[in-house]
Structure 1
């Protein structure tokens, strides 16, 4: 009788990972019988699960990678557990070991797939760096490797054809290649219309492949695609042979939440798919007893069995069925026009908020949607999101907009060719804050702020008292002082939540608010163009008095030997913050003197430097006389405040020819230092993103240099692996968009699409509304995906 997936029921659920389970594998024999299950997660850990009766318990957790686990392979001949990671390394453990036997280094980006090599003690790996490597480890621990180079994008799948003594690789370039042991290309198979994600060798030298085109392809020994297996409705991430059921029985899983079983000879799907209560079923493995293991985006490892004695008790089966039914209903259920399945799950609460007061809707396993707010360093439950769907002004007393209730939802006409834009507002809310959020959401010029705020005041019957703001309670994170608005000594801030450490000004504004030319036309509603960007972004705002006060405070703590100077030196330096500073040699000499202060006291000096280097003449003198870049670049490895100021210096210096020449001359070193920054405030994230954006502007305005485009793209990818701020994401996406328009564009596109995390995040940001600054990120993300 033909096996069928209909006979499989949930056996157990293994809970322990805090984030997506990206990889599962079947290990060696457990001491008491049965096989180990191995799982790897985005939480950077690998877990070994030991069978106890019909269940499994966590026996070992391995935590030697610096980033998420992307693949696990058990090398049977050596009893090695091999883990591949986003940190570009492969760790190899003995089955009973707790630390790596050896760590393989050499790939330049994520290692995303592994398989046994043709020889003993050998492996083949595939990477986002477009190469595969065949590693051989001697008995003495010496490592040699052969590089398989020829793919034009990430190598996502590898396999070994032992009877033919060949290797097979599949990649994001939609190609499948055959290679000999010397790394020479033998054959090309083409047929997939999207990225190849999995390869499984089959009897008679045949091959099965799958990919993002949602199709499995069966290739015969001659390299002909003789059969296509269709059924999945979204990306297929992984496949595994279930040899306990037959040589040609294969299971597959993917982004459509399903596990499926196939007879690859007949092309039949065997039974109904098993729907999971998670969006992504990332990985699948089969045990010797025929049981099937899956790893999912909800952080759960699940085991399914066709053997009744190994199937779960009725309680767990009912719970699983309920979770599946809830997930199925969520595929079409909406809240305020947003699909429940597009909302983040509970795992999103493990990620810190980007600002105090940020709110987030979270979809729970039981189908409920709850609202959380980020306050005092943690996510706090606000309550259930109820009554949003179908609500009206008549039955709720509120206006509904994007699933939330407001006292007012105004229609604002800003274009004769487009429908009005919705402006939501609640009584008691600061009109200028609401206006600023509206401007950011809809990519409008900053000059509209007062006009929009006054519109709210007039039309909401807001009492005058609600319009007044004070700065009570605010302290600048570096100076300890109150907020400052350029051009006024007593004005209150009406900006967004990302505040400049000295000025308190919004980090979204890149020039003086009273100059219309500072508004990038690409932000204006009615234009679909988010890139290329041709206007350099600068960090201009500063309260010179507060900077001077801070320098005096630090200066008084120093001795003469440590660099204490007279007040006249500080006054000379502060003049460099002027919009058009005079080229005073004494001021420049004084600035270089202060740059020798202790690192812990340096940030106000660096803040003056980032204003001074906006001017080409000042930059030229500083570089020619003092080669100051070599003095400040090491501070990229220093305190958060110094990192922020140096990144702003670099961004500002790129706005003129001399600055670009000197920075591009040291670009690999600079980007290597910047890429080592893996955490920081929204201000720092925006500063780094602005540096990259300005770099790409220089490439679009002149003849693009391939070396600059390549290293800049690599730097942007590293930033996007940890950045959370939406403005930083927006500027990074604009930078990528700029590069796609250059002569190096195809290379840039290939670099980006080969990075799973960035592409996954792009898709997430173009589908999941997160906060009020989401819209422009959504739009530029959609534009980028269209290019890719």
Structure 2
């Protein structure tokens, strides 16, 4: 099969009634591809057996209520041996189809704006990007996690073939690398929206942008090459397959080929060239920039051969401007259209649009908004207000505001009377803009209050639930026999009974409470009766079995709640009493109930904020862990799971140095995993996997590592979907380093058992 090393038209495929917005190769049958369109349909096309080199429609899919923006295929599985097709639309939904029926098998809902990009990975994992600034990870019919961090629309996503890594490119000009739901790296370099991503290997990928460049990146973060050649927006990029299909705004799909024996007939080629020659190109939105007719050469310029394939030349023919492109294979200049609406035409006189005169009438293509739209503008207007009105009129996302405003400024050649608003001024009202978080309200860590001989140190002493070398789960001696490793009995997980922090020295806690109360300011000083009440409560809740403890009064519980709001620099002994008290049935019922529970949770999350005091963070974590000891507490923490684990993820990302804090964080994850075991809540399990994976990147304390491994094993045990997700996230490669840990032996043993789950 001869090849000319250049692409020629193979065929044009009618069928869609509106713009074709995306195409991708199908997995079945061989040689087929899928297209999606603004006509709200997706279609599968198969190559004809006849010698016309064309394609026929095999399957039509419908289910979206608005334009279809993107498409990808999902790899075959035992359930769907021919794979699945996923489409994203302007209705904010993702529809998943088989080849057996025109209606979707299921619809994925969760994005709050247009779904504009899709990518699939192993085990049926699907990654989506949206104008709502997020990307989402889906497995089967569930959203497993939401990737948050971009400040503009997510135009491009891609899943790397190995390592569980995912990429997202955004209108905020950055690319982000994600692992297990957290951002591992941010790539900066593009000067405008990132519109497309293409994975070259596990270690490299390409990106393209509105800045007219293509960049080649190493996953480690370095940009190793920048490619220039385009003169305007680059909407997409792909690694070349054996043939290419493109969709156009005329509703046609065109297939191009290198093979001479598959090219279209001479009649069809000539018809295609004639159609190209009739195209009109607006230099404001095309690739040609601003032009001046008087500076252009005449037709004699076409007697000189081009220097490269695809080179563009403009020539004047009387009052017209024509665009030509050099074809190396044919050794001639091919007309690609007439240039209209040059800047010299627009600035020389007013332009009438909808009955009014304007200095400029631009043609705007926002890619996802359908056909080109007209944007009228007078130089006396505020470009931001004009952009805002344009977006409102055409029902377009406000995330395009800066892009359209800067387009106006750039293309009016500085003829802007109204200056662009300052960064801190609202562009619509001119008044000062409220910037959340602008004030520096952070409090410093200050001196560590837990150093010095004889001082009360929360969390000091042996790990909870164990003394010396005792196993924290069995109470017996540490399991350390190498000969007994990997026996048929798994003694580590699933662990469904929660771990609590029970140890305490009541004498030291009360001594520190009285010391701090003596030095407290008058408005915060507790009465003697108040302190005595707390001391009495501590005596009841410390040690022994909480269920067998004497009853508490409601006034005692209310005083404890009030005292827990002491100033953060002195509240830690009260928090220590609180973490012991929530194990008591009455306290758990009261403080974790429907009325008080949300307030308790919010209070503890506030103490756990990343820049909070480490002692308060640790004690708040321990309190949450102990809440799992009661029915009300478990119900509360399951209801607030997303917020609690989200805050835990923030703490994990901060690489906490405090070993007791690390253990408390790991225990919280373990208790959640145990509570979720056996439940069908895949989204919750996905968050557990993500946060536990993030914590394993930062913790060093071996007891914390062990508890995180038990949490992972408990999440994966007896749940095939959770195992598939963990595989797609590259969990095995992340934890394999712990399989050789021999001291303590339980770390290596538990790790190997988790790896067995992932095989």
- TM-score band w.r.t. shorter chain: 0.3 to 0.5
TM-score normalised by structure 1 residue count: 0.40
TM-score normalised by structure 2 residue count: 0.41
